[in-house]
Structure 1
């Protein structure tokens, strides 16, 4: 139960979150990190900088 009414922008934000989470699949496998902004999925400052300025 929510403490605040979900109306207007709050409702839109809630629905946005629900749509983003609907396809999430959980598993018992260990977590792994992947950086989607590079082909080899390894974080680089350059890739993050390019993402930020675009």
Structure 2
């Protein structure tokens, strides 16, 4: 969901989640979602949770393996020159 990990996008939820190592796919496998928090979600945390869940409901996971994609080239493949140009 975006360019940054969910832990960075939702830090207040990440700080109180029971299992920080859980994969999104594992959480999405069951209804209700397979996730537990160490505290009750109230106020801003509740609003963040609702926002996150609404975003997750749009995700369609596949059985295909993940792929690495290099953002500095159009092809998505790593090229030393692209890294050099980005550094300078």
Using the size of structure 2 for normalisation, the TM-score is: 0.36
Gaps (5+ residues) in structure 1?
A: 47-54
What is the Cα deviation at residue 3 of structure 1?
Answer: 2.1
RMSD of aligned alpha carbons: 2.7
Following TM superposition, by how much is the alpha carbon of 1:23 offset from its aligned partner in structure 2, in angstroms? 0.9
Q: 1:41 to 1:8 in 2, by over 3 A?
A: farther
Alignment of 1:12-31 (within 5 A): 12-31=47-66
Dislocated runs of 4+, deviation >6 Å: none
Indicate the structure whose relative CO is greater, using CA pairs within 8 Å and at least 6 residues apart: 2
Q: TM-score, normalised by structure 1?
A: 0.52
Deviation at 1:5, TM superposition (A): 1.0
Is there any run of 5+ residues in structure 2 with no aligned partner, and where? 1-35, 77-81
Aligned residues: 44
